[in-house]
Each structure stands twice: as C-alpha cells, then as structure tokens.
Amino acid sequence: MDENVARPPAAPPPPAFPAPWPIEPPPLPPKQRRTNAVIIGSAVAVIAAIVTTGIVVGATKGSTDDGKPSSTAAASGVTDDDPVVPFDEPDPEPTYPQVDADSFSIDLRTTQRQCFGSAGCNVTVEPELTYLGSSSDLDPDAVYEITYEIHGDESGPVIQTAELTNQTSLSYRPSLISTASASTELSVEITDVTSG
C-alpha cells in the first residue's frame, strides 16, 4: 500500500444499542401489616395465661386444707434439731432528751472594749455556751436555736440567737453593746431553746 494514498477519515463506530431509557426500579411489593403478628402474639399470651391459671387452681384444689401439713411439707428437711434463727428487728430510732433553756449555761466573753470617759464604753461580746449534759445526749441531726438576752446596754436589752449544730458547732454574731459608764456590768440569760 502506498503511503501517499488518501485514506478516508476515520468515523466513529455506530452505537451497538439505541440510547437506553431511564430504567425505573420494579415496584416493591406492598408491606404486610403487622396486624396478623400482633393478633397471633396476643392470642398466644392469653392462652398461656389461661393454662397457667388452670394449673395453679388445679394444684390448690387438690391440696387438703385440714390444717395438717402436706406430705411434701413434712419431707422438706426442717427438723426439730435445726436451730431457730430469730428475726432481727431493726434498731429503733435513738431518742434524745428534751433540751430547754435550763439545759445550758451562758457567759459573755469580751473581745473588744473602747471607753470614752464619762460617755460610757462600746463593748463587743460573744456568748460562751455550755451544755450541762453529755454532748452525746444532743441529736446530731438537729439544729438548736438558743435565744439569749444581754442586759447592760444603755438602750435596753439586746436579744441574739446562736445556733448549735452537730452537737458541738456553735454559730453566732458578736454583739456590740454601748454602756452608760465604764463601771456598767453586763449580764446574760438564755430565754428560749428550739430545735429543728
């Protein structure tokens, strides 16, 4: 063959098949409803309940109720030689004595004092409480509010409240007292005790 001979232009090969149309997936079969399964399951449950009830009733009617133990109870292995274990009852809640104003003694401790000659003094005091019993007599879960009255302030008695918790923890606010003179003696008394 001659290389100078013109060749016909190369044509693309014809398509083997016509262009495909979009293929739709085959329709799904309709879903079966679960109604049949629910009905069958319910029927099985009802039948099982009836059979179980019949067995229990039949076993109960077959027993003698003359007050004597049945033969299966006699053969249960409990003999007179077995030790009897008493039922342990839970410990009763502990009781605590009633706490009142007479259960405590109180004194004042002076933490600051500033006097102004004949004009009197400003005195800061804190309560010192003492429980007259054993601290174990106090309920550890209770909060005792101890109200006390301080006498000696030039404007009249000062009433304060301290809180006793956990049998030994005392919370209070220091009291600022203004006395008429440097010689004024302060006094204190417990007026009320409540627990909560």
DSSP string, 24-83: PPPPPPPPPPTHHHHHHHHHHHHHHHHHHHHHHHHHHHTS--SSSPPHHHHTSS--TTSP
Is residue 194 within 8 Å of 135, Cβ to Cβ? no
- Most confident of the following: 25-29, 72-76, 158-162: 158-162
Q: Which helix (H) or strand (E) holds 145?
A: strand 144-151
Confidence of residue 135 (pLDDT cuts 50, 70, 90): confident
Between 65 and 156, name the one with better pLDDT: 156
Question: Which pLDDT belongs to residue 85?
Answer: 64
Q: What is the mean pLDDT of residues 119-142?
A: 91
Whether the CA torsion 71, 75, 80, 84 is positive or negative: it is negative
Residues 182 and 120 sit within 8 Å (Cβ to Cβ): yes
Model confidence pLDDT, tens digit, residues 30-39: 666 667 777 8
Query: What CA–CA distances, in Å, run from 144 to 83, 93, 94, 98, 163?
Result: 48, 19, 17, 11, 6
- Average pLDDT value for residue range 160-165: 95
pLDDT at 54: 80
Q: Of 77 and 81, which is predicted with more confidence?
A: 81
Mean pLDDT (the chain) is 80
Q: Give pLDDT tens digits for 179-190.
A: 999 999 999 999
Region 17-32: mean pLDDT is: 62
Residues 6+ apart with CB under 8 A from 13: none
117 pLDDT above the threshold of 80: yes
Separation of alpha carbons 187 and 12, rounded Å: 122
Predicted confidence at residue 191, as pLDDT, reads 96
When pLDDT is averaged across residues 103-132 and rounded to a whole number, the result is: 94
Would you state the structure tokens that stand for residue 95, as one six-digit string?
């009781």
Are 159 and 148 contacting, i.e. CB atoms less than 8 angstroms apart? Answer: yes
Question: What is the pLDDT, as a whole number, of residue 112?
Answer: 96
Instruction: For residues 139-149, give the mean pLDDT.
Output: 94
